[in-house]
Amino acid sequence: MAGKRRYENLDQAKTTGSFREFVKWQQERRRKVKDLSYVVPQADRVDIEFLRANRTETTITWIGHATFLIQLSGLNILTDPVWANRMGFEKRLAPPGLALTELPAIDAVLISHSHYDHLHFRSLRRLKGSPLHMVPAGLRSLFRKKRLPRTEEFGWWESRKIGRVEFHFVPAQHWSKRTLWDTNRSHWGGWVVTNGRETVYFAGDSGYFRGFHEIGRRFAVDAALLPIGAYEPEWFMSPQHVTPEEAVQAYLDVGADTFVPMHYGAFRLADDTPREALDRLQAEWARRGLPSSRLRILKHGETIRLSTGADGQ
């Protein structure tokens, strides 16, 4: 069971709409016709042997949605591991870039919040290795109930070090819920992972908020993994999910070198499509005159190597 405390956003920003607003969205949704023909492509070749053996290079591999394999200073780190084939009544739009059986042994799992598209216990139980699960405050008891005792929970700005790698839990503007009774009973946030040379910021889920500036002030971020999907209709979703344009502003606020978009193409959570999210992202990038080399739109299963600047494909 989650704790009795109810967690809040910075400035007490509210992110959950009313029941009346939810009904309005569902009525609006039924009138829309969307083209879902675009599917995020799979990487042409995934170097499984390299990923299993790598202990020296800093890499980021997009598996899908908010799931990344980050390799840093010999550690294998997974963010929000979800290999589910369905989310609610909807089938997955594209397969994961790596199968669970293709992963190396995992040292650490980072959870951003409790929503089902970010926390999937069946996937967690099937991971190789004996990872430490780092979770937001309020979730440790649920992990222990699910027989995952190697779990530590964190509040915003709290940190943990494993070997040469520091893990920092940072704010986001979102909410949490898994049942009818546990709304905001656990916290939410992103993660900054650094070895002092390379730094990766995984934003989790977030609406646009002033916290992006603060994260950029505290950390020198090399790669920002930022969500661009689940924003439509904006009148309902904007407090909890950034638009593609807001994601670009968040990237600039954080001051990162590279922007890796995520949170699109795997599950249909709102009314926008993967193609719409990418088109708006690329249009905003061009409008602002940002260098094309700093926007890394990955295929599922594609790897980038931060320590060498070379692709892993």
Q: Domains, the chain, ranges and CATH?
A: 40-305 (3.60.15.10)
- From the first residue on, what is the mean pLDDT of each consecutive set of 10 residues in the chain (313 residues)? 78 86 85 91 95 96 98 98 92 96 97 98 97 98 96 98 98 96 96 97 98 98 98 93 98 98 96 97 98 97 78 42
Q: What is the reported pLDDT for 30?
A: 84
Q: What is the reported pLDDT for 17?
A: 80
Q: What is the reported pLDDT for 15?
A: 86
79 residue type, one letter? T
CA distance 66 to 123: 13
Q: What is the reported pLDDT for 33?
A: 86
- The verdict on pTM exceeding 0.75 is yes
Comparing CA positions, the residue from 164, 218, 149 lying closest to residue 190 is: 218
Q: What is the reported pLDDT for 27?
A: 85
* Exposure class string for 103-130: b at 16+ Cβ within 10 A, else e: bbebbbbbbbbbbebbbbeebbeebeee
Q: How many CB atoms lie within 10 A of CB 178?
A: 17
Q: What is the reported pLDDT for 4?
A: 77
Q: What is the reported pLDDT for 89?
A: 81
For residue 127, give both structure tokens.
């991971």
Decide: residue 89, CB within 10 A, 0-12 exposed, 13-18 middle, 19+ buried: exposed
- The strands making up 199-202's β-sheet, listed across from edge to edge, are 159-162, 165-170, 190-194, 199-202, 223-227, 258-262
Q: What is the reported pLDDT for 18?
A: 83
SS (H, E, C) 188-219: CCEEEEECCCCEEEECCCCCCCCHHHHHHHHC
Q: What is the reported pLDDT for 313?
A: 41
